[in-house]
Amino acid sequence: MSHLKLFATILKRHGFKLLEKQDIARRAFLHEQRYFSSATSEPFLSGSNSNYVEEMYYAWLENPKSVHKSWDVFFRSANVGQAAHLPAQLEGKASFLQSHGLAPTPGKAEKLVEDHLAVQSLIRAYQIRGHHVAQLDPLGILDADLDSFIPSDLITTIDKLGIFLFVFCSTLLINNVPVAGFYGLHESDLDKVFQLPTTTFIGGNENSLSLREIIKRLEHTYCQHIGLEYMFINDVEQCQWIRQKFETPGVMKFTNEDKRTLLARLVRSMRFEDFLARKWSSEKRFGLEGCEVMIPALKTIIDKSSEMGIEYVIMGMPHRGRLNVLANVIRKELEQIFCQFDPKLEAADEGSGDVKYHLGMYHERINRKTNKKITLSLMANPSHLEAVDPVVQGKTKAEQFYRGDTAGKKVMSILLHGDAAFAGQGVVYETFHLSDLPSYTTNGTIHVVVNNQIGFTTDPRMARSSPYPTDVARVVNAPIFHVNADDPEAVMYVCSVAAEWRNTFNKDVVVDLVCYRRRGHNEMDEPMFTQPLMYKQIHKQVPVLKKYADKLIADGTVTLQEFEEEIAKYDRICEEAYTRSKDKKILHIKHWLDSPWPGFFNADGEPKSMSCPPTGISEELLIHIGNVASSVPVEDFKIHSDPFISDLHSDVGLSRILKARSEMTQNRLVDWALAEYMAFGSVLKEGIHVRLSGQDVERGTFSHRHHVLHDQEVDKRTCVPMNHLWEQQAPYTVCNSSLSEYGVLGFELGFAMASPNALVCWEAQFGDFHNTAQCIIDQFISSGQAKWVRHNGIVLLLPHGMEGMGPEHSSARPERFLQMSNDDSDAYPEFTEQFEVSQLYECNWIVVNCSTPANYFHVLRRQILLPFRKPLIVLTPKSLLRHPEAKSSFDEMVSGTTFQRVIPENGPAAQAPHEVKRVIFCTGKVYYDLVKERKNQDLEKQVAITRLEQISPFPFDLLKEELDKYPTADLVWCQEEHKNSGYYDYVKPRFRTIVNHTRPIWYVGREPAAAAATGNKNMHLVSLRRFLDTAFNLEAFEGKTF
Ligand SMILES: Cc1ncc(C[n+]2csc(CCOP(=O)(O)OP(=O)(O)O)c2C)c(N)n1
């Protein structure tokens, strides 16, 4: 910053702020005095009562070293008559001091105390606000904090102090009071020695320094190329740790070897971009130019982490520099990357693929610095910026979990961000909020921001309201290290400290690489349209590689010849790989898989079979699980029963629920909650980890689940009976999540990615809340396999049902999932023996709406028994959780039984199908309304009701059987949802395909509507009545055409 700019700043701020802040400083001082302690080891500035002063003085007279250094400074100054004035409480002891020749000269003495306080405040001001004046922008024209003003409590150069005091202070008056600088310090104070507080390390081995040296060292630490934000952290130990890492004189040392490695890495980073630019000048690649330092930065983080024991690093990143990361960090074979630029190559794998800068990667290699094995994985991601963040976290958590790495010492995540996206995308905040939750923490993530000070064409001043793009990290007390990306050594140091921070505290940390973007948003864009001045400067900017090479050549670390050879060597590597890439004929998307599942598929990556064993289990198992589910498997644990009723009546509250479970088990029955228990418990026995996450899932939104019991007498004592089923069982994790859908669903999707041997379920509080996680659903769950050939067996449990609860708690929007299902409505399939399973294999996800607990039990188990993984969307019930009819017998769950995709009519109508006038097809809860109404109207022989349990992929085969069975009946699709939602639009064309358009499928249900449901209970009931009447009006469609 130029001096002129500095003066302007000083003048401006003196207009009103200065005295006010001095006042504040004084008040703080007086406040501090009240808390003086009498400990003899205490420094002068916190010493207290009067006897204590005498003690100090006598001790000092005997041996000046026996007292704290600050007292030594004080008595010494007083003795030479410099300035020694006691704090107000000690003034009463003036006579004592006078009698000992220590009579203070009032003005000077007071100044000594004030000056010490001022110096402390000054140090603190640097620690808090030094980053605002750090030189972070490599272009030298922008302010990383979007503010060109210097905080008024910083003295940024010794020059400034001098100029400031002489030029301005003597003449500047505010309210007729002469302004003597923010702290009242004068040039004459510069060579005075001040005691350093314990909250700084600038002294190194020294306890006191001259003011001149203090300012110099503070400036060196806080106002050069590194800007540190950490003073908001609540933990003193953590703050001290950071201060020590950055303030200690001479900490930033690099050996020649380090510098040469850094240069070589910069060569690779820069020449890779140059190579791509030369070969494919008109292709989008989102180059890294302007932030080439990111490659050595990531490598430093990985080296350091590997040194400290990390074996697996999982990364998520946006487009910028992604190819470079694949090439030079993950070390993907260059020819594989270059292949991606060849539009003529044929894709060898299933799926539709993705553009090259979205693909993922998994690679095991030896870290050359540490000679240790390291696995690196870059997660595939959609264009949707930051969406991958929680996915990376979930996968990292799972990898830690399966390795028993509870403290995150073996597996860690690194997330890269663009400045605009980091500031703008809410999922960043949601992800940060998972970082310290026991069931979601990954024990610290290192965030690296490529802060090129622009977002596409948008200036950061228009893109965020926070000073830095990184401010979101402050909510979790993550330190933020801003660094000028044109100072590679500063960057390496910061990255190394970041890695150590994570290893020491297992908390998140942010490295903000303040850089620039040499080209447009992509290589085809013209940035001068929108940022003319910035780009004029960028065009003049010397690339970082040249700057650093010049520096190392000048100081003799490398010779020009060595540098040129390094460049030639890497260029040769690229050329050779390019030649090899020309021989490739086929593009394998599988080579870009980020999460391989060794052993799960056969050698060609195909499922080992195309069949699924029956999903029923033995009666013995059902009974055992039922008994544990209705018990409290730990001693002396008092569960909930109504506190207002005495213990004698223990079958109230939770006791009653458990008792009911026990009775159901004895009666060989299950309700929804018990069926879920049976499904989870049985797969746990088979060694499959089960994880259920979402808001309030432990108890269940509808208070039906109760998977975590709470001791009513001991705070925070809990018990999870599901983990007490067998001695040898997989662990069960059930966790209430933060109030987030986007972040948490992304997290669970990532968790499910790590292993096929886990049943990972996410439950929405109400089904419609999934729409705040739409990006995860659309971009990952629906299309993930097609884009990135990776399977995922995540289960979404979405409470759904029109129960008069208003527009917002009724519909899980099944139509959205069905609309994205990839089965062809018009293609009549061939019904082979394996039709059921191969249809599942071909689909992008499975959508079910079970009408019985047994079927819910089966579909959960089928998820694990299938020889491949597909996302499963389950529309789950609300009122059916307690519906007396919605119970299943053990007979429907024992060995040999299986999931029923369709539950056909099995009452009187099925006995005489030719007499049936109407077949109503339906799904879910409306079945119970229809059955009741049919009984009321005595139409059990005339009307068959068939339930569609698996809606997608559509069970063409079973429905064909049903349709053939009732050749003369009307066909009706009945749903409780509005016509433009629910299932109608999905099922209608498929039914028609089955009957080859020869029979109509009539619609019965609610009218189309803009809102998912009415908020008026009466309207709800009226519309229910209306469509039930139509459903059983056998003349309703007479004479109508279709
Ligand atoms: C969620 C989302 N919204 C919008 C976009 C469109 N988009 C692509 S890149 C970009 C600018 C990103 O800027 P920044 O995060 O600073 O990264 P940079 O491109 O500068 O590296 C935008 C708006 C997107 N990809 N994702």
Cα 800 to Cα 778: distance, rounded to the nearest angstrom = 20
Q: What is the pLDDT of residue 79?
A: 54
| Model pLDDT for residues 755-791, shown as the tens digit of each residue | 999 999 999 999 999 999 999 999 999 999 988 888 9
Ligand 1 center from residue 462 Cα (angstroms)? 14
Atom of ligand 1 nearest to the CA of 455: 13
Ligand 1 center from residue 450 Cα (angstroms)? 12
Confidence check: pLDDT of 469 > 70: yes
Atom of ligand 1 nearest to the CA of 521: 19
| Model pLDDT for residues 631-659, shown as the tens digit of each residue | 999 988 998 885 555 454 456 789 999 99
CB atoms under 10 Å from CB of 408, counted, come to 21
Ligand 1 center from residue 608 Cα (angstroms)? 41
Q: Is 889 helix (H, G, I), strand (E, B) or coil?
A: strand
- The residue that leads in pLDDT, 187 or 664, is 664
Whose C-alpha lies nearest to ligand 1, atom 22?
A: 456
| Model pLDDT for residues 118-177, shown as the tens digit of each residue | 999 999 999 999 999 999 999 999 999 999 888 888 876 544 454 443 333 333 333 343
Q: Where do we find the tokens 């509005």?
A: 978
What's the mean per-residue pLDDT of the chain?
88
CB 747 within 8 A of CB 440: yes
Atom of ligand 1 nearest to the CA of 422: 15
Whose C-alpha lies nearest to ligand 1, atom 9?
A: 456
Ligand 1 center from residue 896 Cα (angstroms)? 53
Confidence check: pLDDT of 95 > 60: no
Atom of ligand 1 nearest to the CA of 383: 25
Average pLDDT value for residue range 474-483: 98
Ligand 1 center from residue 324 Cα (angstroms)? 18
Cα 218 to Cα 214: distance, rounded to the nearest angstrom = 6
Ligand 1 center from residue 425 Cα (angstroms)? 10
Enter the tokens of residue 1023: 């519309």
| Model pLDDT for residues 237-267, shown as the tens digit of each residue | 999 999 999 999 999 999 999 999 999 999 9
Ligand 1 center from residue 274 Cα (angstroms)? 23
- Ligand 1: residue of 286, 289, 381, 385 to mutate (most ligand atoms within 8 A of CB) is 385
* Residue 200 buriedness (CB in 10 A; 0-12 / 13-18 / 19+): buried
CB 772 within 8 A of CB 695: no
Mind giving me the DSSP string for 271-324? HHHHHHHHH-TTS-----TT-TTHHHHHHHHHHHHHHTT--EEEEE--STTHHH
Instruction: For residue 581, give the amino acid letter.
Output: S
Whose C-alpha lies nearest to ligand 1, atom 13?
A: 455
Atom of ligand 1 nearest to the CA of 451: 16
Cα 233 to Cα 501: distance, rounded to the nearest angstrom = 13
CA R_g for the chain: 36
Atom of ligand 1 nearest to the CA of 320: 21
- Ligand 1: residue of 294, 448, 456, 459 to mutate (most ligand atoms within 8 A of CB) is 456
Whose C-alpha lies nearest to ligand 1, atom 1?
A: 384
- The residue that leads in pLDDT, 685 or 526, is 685
Ligand 1 center from residue 418 Cα (angstroms)? 7
Ligand 1 center from residue 516 Cα (angstroms)? 15
Confidence check: pLDDT of 14 > 80: no
Enter the tokens of residue 195: 């005691």
Give the pLDDT band of residue 106 (cuts 50, 70, 90).
Answer: low
Ligand 1 center from residue 428 Cα (angstroms)? 14
Q: What is the dihedral of CA 476, 481, 485, 487, to 10 degrees?
A: -170
Enter the tokens of residue 592: 């870009």
CB 820 within 8 A of CB 871: no
Ligand 1 center from residue 323 Cα (angstroms)? 17
Cα 735 to Cα 401: distance, rounded to the nearest angstrom = 14
Cα 562 to Cα 511: distance, rounded to the nearest angstrom = 31
Average pLDDT value for residue range 357-364: 85
Least confident of 260-269, 585-594, 626-635, 865-874: 585-594
Q: 69-79 and 50-62 helices cross at what angle (nearest 10)?
A: 80
Q: Phi and psi for 791 in degrees, rounded to 5?
A: -85, 160
Q: What is the pLDDT of residue 4?
A: 31
Atom of ligand 1 nearest to the CA of 469: 16
Report the pocket of ligand 1 as residue ranges, CB < 6 Å: 320, 383-385, 418-421, 425, 450, 452, 454-456, 517, 521
* Residue 904 buriedness (CB in 10 A; 0-12 / 13-18 / 19+): middle
